[in-house]
Amino acid sequence: MVHEWSLAEAVLEAVKKVAIDSGISKINRLIIGLGELQNIDIELFKESIEILKGEYSSEIQIDEIEFEDEEAVFKCRRCGEVWRLRDVELGEDEREAIHFIPELLHAFVKCPRCNSVDYEILSGRGVVIKRIEGVK
């Protein structure tokens, strides 16, 4: 839970800074993207956010928090192919290894067109503040 709690604190600190810098006094809706490759317990992270948002209520009020799953998408640097993790055939052991250590991705996943392991992750690798809707 320490990892999820720290991550939740970092997200809320970033949201607070954006709100203050933008002159937003109340956040009506906050949308957080959760990457498919992120190695966190999603339920613990959501619970941490909900608990911690109360601690930030004196500085910024957040009414609604929405979480969106962000699919893992890759782009080959060699041939330009774009693909998703779901497009690649992986065994259960490989999927679990990638979930716990995302850096292992390059050991198990290659470009489906040219078999290169030289690719970038376009999305799905982290926690992202996707949108802040509020009033000034």
- Note whether 51 and 90 are same-domain residues: no
Specify the number of domains making up the chain.
2
- Note whether 17 and 35 are same-domain residues: yes
Token duo for residue 89: 């055939």
The whole-number pLDDT of residue 1 equals 53
Contact between residue 57 and residue 27 where contact means Cβ atoms under 8 Å apart: no
- Note whether 55 and 93 are same-domain residues: no
Question: Which amino acid belongs to residue 47?
Answer: E
> Which tens digits make up the pLDDT trace of 77-102?
999 999 999 898 888 888 888 877 87
What's the CATH number where 40 sits?
3.30.2320.50
Q: How far apart are the first and last CA of the chain?
A: 34
Q: Which of 42, 65, 54 is nearest to 130 (CA)?
A: 65
Distance from CA of residue 108 to its chain's centroid? 21
Contact between residue 131 and residue 17 where contact means Cβ atoms under 8 Å apart: no
**Structural domain range at position 89:** 73-122
> Which tens digits make up the pLDDT trace of 32-88?
999 988 878 889 999 999 999 888 788 888 999 999 999 999 999 999 999 999 898
Contact between residue 1 and residue 47 where contact means Cβ atoms under 8 Å apart: no
> For residues 118 and 84, what is the distance between their CA atoms, to the nearest angstrom?
15
